[in-house]
A = this chain, B = another copy of it.
Amino acid sequence: MNLAWHRVDLSLRHLFRISRSAVATTPTVQVTFSHDGITGHGEASPSKRYGQSPESVESALAKLDLAAALADPYRLEDLDAYLIETIPAEPAARAAVEMAVTDWIGRSLGQPQWRLWGLDPGRAPVTSFTIAIDSPDAMAERVREADAYAVLKIKLGGPDDRGVIEAIRRVTDKPIRVDANEGWSREQAVREIEWLAGQGVEFVEQPLPAGDLDGTRWVHERSALPLYADENAGTSADLPALVGAFDGINIKLMKCGGLREALRMTHTARALGLKLMIGCMIESSVAITAAAQLTPLLDHADLDGNLLVTNDPYRGVTLDATGRLVLPTTPGLGVYPLAHHQPL
């Protein structure tokens, strides 16, 4: 069993600003798992918010000895336990390894991942397309460019949130989802959400800092819109506490550590009566396609990380004319490297 990796810096089409930061490129670590003549692909997109970097990912990967840990590559439950024990603070690295081994298994069985999970690819939802924080005029221009997407996700928490929404509403009446990325105070959240409810907004993601779950409960009681947890919903163990504070959760592979935990979160959230979406970081088609495999089980998708970059080295999931995710029919995750990039 051979694990290999290399860094790929993804270049963003436009400067990407959220309430915390702004970036022009995003570092990723592309991972391959090879065994018995088959190669599976995975990807880590480390998050500063969670204390990770490409260096911390590469250092975590260097600690692993899969051949010693796994009697059989199919033993994903043992793999998960080994990764959590060995590199607990590196969920993006863990997600990348599990993704590559999962891809390997699907390829070795000759079946797409969605089929192995018992899913109907026709149930994959549309993906929202993210408009990062900018001036109202620049954001409205981004919305015009996003003609192909049926639902928009607007990053708020900037200096002129209402101006942004008004500028966007002048150019489109598409459904909007709003992501505050922990950027509001309690009173501000209630006030902004009340105003947003009159603007064709579907739901609001993570209005308050994750540390203020009591405050989120307070906001939830007064909220005219459903609230979705992002930073508050790391893994399945976080979910029971969210009942009464949020209406749904946003799963991300780079937060929860992989597809298997994403499935655990899905089952747990359903039992708790929470709605489900899956989101992403800035990622290539590898991690986006991995996340897309799960979407027939979910209510919403926000899988546009690969659409925001200009140098995606892979192809995988695509979109149809209505912005719906089209899952690959090829084995495993269904991703392949583009020919003009270095062979993987």
Contact = CB atoms under 8 A, between A and B. Distances in A.
A93 to B, nearest CB: 19
Contacts of A71: 120
Given A109-B111, A111-B109, A296-B77, A271 B239 contact: yes
A268 interface: yes
Contact of A116 (B72, B78, B116, B264): B116
B116 A271 contact: no
B111 A236 contact: no
Interface in A112-127: 115-120
Given A74-B111, A265-B271, A267-B268, 16 more contacts: A74-B115, A74-B116, A75-B119, A76-B118, A77-B296, A109-B109, A109-B111, A116-B116, A236-B271, A237-B271, A237-B273, A239-B271, A240-B240, A240-B272, A264-B270, A268-B271
Interface residues of A, number: 33
A75 B118 contact: yes
Interface in A68-110: 71-72, 74-79, 109
Given A109-B111, A240-B240, A120 B77 contact: yes
A77 B124 CA distance: 13
A66 interface: no
A239 B271 CA distance: 8
A267 B235 CA distance: 11
Nearest to A297: B77
Contacts of A239: 271
B270 A236 contact: yes
A319 interface: no
Contacts of A271: 236-237, 239-240, 264-265, 268
A260 interface: yes
Q: Please give me the 4 A-B residue pairs with the lowest Cβ-Cβ distance, nearest first.
A: A76-B118, A236-B271, A267-B267, A268-B271
B267 A77 contact: no
